[in-house]
């Protein structure tokens, strides 16, 4: 159980290899869902309960669903899957092979699983501050602070997302 | 572009640059760059044809790769130092990644291959914005990180930019590609003194923007995009044909004109820091730039290409296209050298 974070990160990379070997978007979306679930569980294991559940709700339950519907509208007759051509299969196998070699190398070190981030001693998202209880969860209070201290960032991010959709419509309009 | 869509697109492009230049948090600086790039794509595709689509795709791919590398550098810097402010010292590995990302955004060698092709695939006014406004935000970030930049790699990038910009522009007849290669050369010159005196970089940027704006607006008057079309300027707008000569010579950096002033200051800064070989190499390389500007002057005002007899009689002598700001820009881009002590207040 001490290696849970390391195992989840390895599973995350393998999920990413699954869609970066470029199958058809339907299968890429499937790999995204799997790696999204694993990513949420990583966030949950680091103590960010609110963040992980919010990501499940918004990312997987909102954006992924919309992505799945749009790719289902644009589907072709014989979509390219992982075993259908040598390119996608080759990319998948090379990626998985490199990940396996990396895992073997990390496990062979003296101080195992401390390569970039200390996997075994990640802290919890709790801040020991504030009147009253003295304990604030970092992630949920951050979502509240987004509309307080981070008001400008919300305005900028919202405007950028709106302009993104606007730009796509302008480009696709074609006249 | 739809005239109802234009205010939002142009406002977002300007706001993105403003957010990048005015922010002290690395995340907002990156957000400003992304906003700027996103809103610039439909400006590149003002005239929808496959060539401009290709140019917009190339621009988008290069700039988003550079933004990804910049984000990686920002997060690595936070991992190493815990700092989110743009004015504090950056550790060396993230600083190298940041310099690479900003060099990709500016079009410095060895990441310069997109500049002539994107400039060629877009209308002249979009090319103007590409080569002037889009340089402001990355240079403002480079100005803020200048204490932590590795001198050797920056000077290598600058020298390589000057060399690639000059050699690449030699075989071109398309004017937008020539101006793209000229932009690469000037970027090389600009980044030379960033570690020694960053105000010279800003000064060079100002003069470069004035010169490039003059050039693009003059070309836009007769809508000429090739050397052959430029050779008809004597017939179309007779007063502009001899005026192209000082503008282009100023762009090439000839002495009594404005374009010489920033180069002079940069050479002075470098020699004050005991470096003689690099300014010599860059000056010699920039002579090639001057050579293809001279070729444009030759085709514009020093010779007449063979034409049919009808074109030798201009029947419509009144210029119907409005000239936006061209006379003051021509004066500014050729006659600023005598007031150089007024301009060089940072010395």
Q: Are strands A136-137 and A126-127 parallel, antiparallel or unpaired?
A: antiparallel
pLDDT of residue B150: 94
**Among partner residues B5, B34, B48, which is closest to A160 by beta-carbon distance?**
B34
Q: Which domain holds residue B253?
A: 150-346
Residue B168 maps to a domain: yes
Cα distance between residue A54 and residue A142, in whole Å = 12
The structure tokens listed for B88 are 């504090």
CB < 8 Å to A175, chain B: 48
B interface with A, Cβ–Cβ < 8 A, is 1-2, 5, 8-9, 12, 15, 19, 27-28, 31, 34-35, 38-39, 41-42, 45, 48, 56
Cα distance between residue B282 and residue A123, in whole Å = 53
* Residues B33 and A159: beta-carbon distance below 8 Å: no
DSSP B325: S
**Among partner residues A157, A160, A171, which is closest to B42 by beta-carbon distance?**
A171
Can you give the length of chain A in residues?
Answer: 175
ipTM of the complex: 0.84
Write the DSSP assignment of A11-72 as a string of letters.
HHHHHHHHHHT---HHHHHHHHHHHHHHHHHHHHHTT-HHHHHHHIIIIIIIIHHHHHHHHH
Which residues of chain A are modeled with pLDDT < 50?
Answer: none
Do B165 and B295 have their domain in common? yes
Q: How many CB atoms lie within 10 A of CB B2?
A: 11
Residue B41 maps to a domain: yes
Cα distance between residue A95 and residue A111, in whole Å = 25
Residue B126 maps to a domain: no
Do B188 and B306 have their domain in common? yes
Which domain-ending residue is among B121, B137, B172? B121
Residue A127 forms beta bridges with which residues? A136
Long-range pairs for A124-131: beta carbons < 8 A, 24 or more residues apart:
A124/A46, A124/A47, A125/A46, A125/A47, A125/A48, A125/A51, A126/A47
Cα distance between residue B52 and residue B62, in whole Å = 15
Do B239 and B309 have their domain in common? yes
Do B181 and B314 have their domain in common? yes
Cis before residue B110, ω within 30 degrees of 0? yes
CB < 8 Å to B35, chain A: 156, 159-160, 163
Domain total for chain B? Answer: 2
Three-class SS of residue B20? helix
Cα distance between residue A12 and residue A6, in whole Å = 10
pLDDT of residue B332: 93
Write the DSSP assignment of B89-105 as a string of letters.
PPPHHHHHHHHHHHHHH
Residue B139 maps to a domain: no
Do B106 and B200 have their domain in common? no
* Residue A149 forms contact with B (CB below 8 Å): no
Residue B130 maps to a domain: no
Do B111 and B188 have their domain in common? no
Do B108 and B245 have their domain in common? no
Burial of B54 (0-12, 13-18, 19+ CB in 10 A): middle
pLDDT of residue A2: 67
Residue B174 φ/ψ, nearest 5 degrees: -80, 125
The structure tokens listed for A66 are 């919309």
Please, which residues have CB within 8 angstroms of residue B178's CB and are 6 or more apart in sequence? B169, B172, B292, B296
Q: Tokens 């075994």 correspond to what residue?
A: A120
CB < 8 Å to B12, chain A: 159-160, 163
Do B196 and B339 have their domain in common? yes
Q: Residue B224: CA atoms inside 13 Å, Cβ hemisphere, count?
A: 26
Do B173 and B318 have their domain in common? yes
Burial annotation B31-41 (CB, 10 A radius, 16+ → b, else e): bbbbbbbbbbb
Residue A126 φ/ψ, nearest 5 degrees: -125, 135
Best mutation target, A142, A152, A160, to test chain B (most B CBs within 10 A): A160
Q: Tokens 């970066």 correspond to what residue?
A: A20
Residue B36 maps to a domain: yes
**Among partner residues A153, A171, A175, which is closest to B41 by beta-carbon distance?**
A171
* Residue A155 forms contact with B (CB below 8 Å): no
Give the tens place of pLDDT for each residue, A5-27: 888 989 999 999 999 998 998 99
Do B58 and B203 have their domain in common? no
Cα distance between residue B244 and residue B296, in whole Å = 9
pLDDT of residue A173: 83
CB < 8 Å to B39, chain A: 163, 167
The structure tokens listed for B121 are 């695939």
What chain B residue is nearest to A168 in terms of C-alpha separation?
B42
Residue B39 maps to a domain: yes
Cα distance between residue A173 and residue B45, in whole Å = 11
- Each residue's pLDDT, cut to its tens digit, for chain B (347 residues) gives 788 889 999 999 999 999 999 999 999 999 999 999 999 999 999 988 999 999 999 999 999 999 999 999 999 999 999 999 999 999 999 999 999 999 999 999 899 999 999 999 999 999 999 999 999 999 999 999 999 999 999 999 999 999 999 999 999 999 999 999 999 999 999 999 999 999 999 999 999 999 999 999 999 988 899 998 888 888 888 888 899 999 999 999 999 999 999 999 999 999 999 999 999 999 999 999 999 999 999 999 898 888 777 777 676 667 777 888 899 999 999 999 999 999 988 76
Q: Residue B42 and residue A156: Cβ atoms within 8 Å?
A: no
pLDDT of residue A139: 80
**Among partner residues B2, B8, B19, which is closest to A163 by beta-carbon distance?**
B8
DSSP A126: E
Do B235 and B336 have their domain in common? yes
The structure tokens listed for B42 are 């439909």
**Among partner residues A160, A167, A174, which is closest to B48 by beta-carbon distance?**
A174
CB < 8 Å to A159, chain B: 12, 15, 35
Can you give the length of chain B in residues?
Answer: 347
**Among partner residues A157, A163, A175, which is closest to B48 by beta-carbon distance?**
A175
Residue B32 maps to a domain: yes
Cα distance between residue A124 and residue A44, in whole Å = 10
CB < 8 Å to B48, chain A: 174-175
* Residue A166 forms contact with B (CB below 8 Å): yes
Cα distance between residue A61 and residue A130, in whole Å = 33
Do B187 and B100 have their domain in common? no
pLDDT of residue B323: 81
Cα distance between residue B333 and residue B189, in whole Å = 18
* Residues B118 and B55: beta-carbon distance below 8 Å: yes
pLDDT of residue B225: 92
* Residue A156 forms contact with B (CB below 8 Å): yes
């Amino acid at each position: 159980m001490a290696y849970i974070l390391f195992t989840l990160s390895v599973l995350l990379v393998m999920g990413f290899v699954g869609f970066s070997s470029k199958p058809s978007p339907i299968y890429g979306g499937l790999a995204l869902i799997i790696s999204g679930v694993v990513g949420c569980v990583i966030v949950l294991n680091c103590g960010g309960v609110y963040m992980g559940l919010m990501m499940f709700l918004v990312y997987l339950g909102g954006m992924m669903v919309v992505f799945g519907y749009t790719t289902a509208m644009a589907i072709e007759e014989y979509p390219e899957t992982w075993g259908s051509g040598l390119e996608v299969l080759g990319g998948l196998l090379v990626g998985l092979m490199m990940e396996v070699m990396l895992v073997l190398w990390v496990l062979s070190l003296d101080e195992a699983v401390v390569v970039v981030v200390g996997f075994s001693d990640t802290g919890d998202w709790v801040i020991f501050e504030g009147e009253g209880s003295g304990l604030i969860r970092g992630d949920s209070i951050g979502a509240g602070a987004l509309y307080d201290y981070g008001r400008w960032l919300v305005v900028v991010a919202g405007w950028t997302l709106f302009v993104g959709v606007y730009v796509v419509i302008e480009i696709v309009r074609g006249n | 572009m739809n005239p109802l869509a234009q205010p939002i697109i142009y406002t977002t492009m300007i706001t993105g640059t403003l957010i990048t230049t005015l922010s002290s948090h690395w995340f907002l600086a990156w957000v400003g760059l992304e906003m700027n790039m996103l809103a610039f794509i439909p400006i590149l595709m003002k005239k929808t044809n496959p060539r401009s689509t290709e140019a917009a795709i190339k621009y988008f791919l290069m700039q988003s790769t550079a933004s990804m590398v910049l984000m990686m550098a920002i997060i690595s810097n936070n991992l190493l130092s815990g700092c989110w402010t743009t004015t504090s010292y950056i550790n060396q590995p993230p600083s190298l990644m940041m310099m690479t990302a900003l060099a990709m955004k500016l079009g410095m060698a060895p990441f310069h291959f997109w500049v002539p092709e994107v400039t060629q695939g877009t209308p002249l006014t979009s090319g103007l914005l590409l080569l002037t406004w889009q340089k402001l935000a990355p240079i403002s970030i480079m100005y803020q990180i200048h204490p932590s930049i590795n001198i050797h790699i920056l000077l290598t990038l600058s020298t390589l930019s000057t060399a690639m910009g000059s050699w690449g522009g030699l075989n071109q007849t398309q004017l937008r590609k020539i101006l793209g290669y000229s932009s690469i050369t000037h970027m090389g010159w600009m980044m030379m003194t960033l570690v020694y005196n960053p105000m010279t970089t800003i000064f060079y940027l100002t003069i470069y923007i004035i010169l490039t704006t003059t050039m693009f607006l003059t070309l836009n008057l007769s809508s000429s995009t090739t050397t052959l079309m430029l050779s008809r300027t004597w017939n179309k707008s007779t007063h502009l044909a001899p005026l192209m000569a000082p503008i282009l010579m100023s762009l090439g950096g000839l002495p009594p004109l404005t374009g010489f002033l920033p180069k002079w200051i940069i050479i002075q800064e470098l020699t004050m820091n005991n470096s003689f070989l690099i300014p010599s190499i860059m000056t010699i390389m920039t002579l090639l730039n001057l050579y293809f500007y001279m070729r444009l002057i030759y085709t514009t005002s020093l010779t007449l290409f063979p034409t049919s007899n009808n074109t030798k009689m201009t029947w419509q002598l009144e210029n119907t296209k409005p000239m936006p700001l061209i006379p003051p820009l021509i004066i500014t881009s050729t006659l600023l050298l005598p007031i150089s002590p007024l301009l060089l207040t940072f010395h």
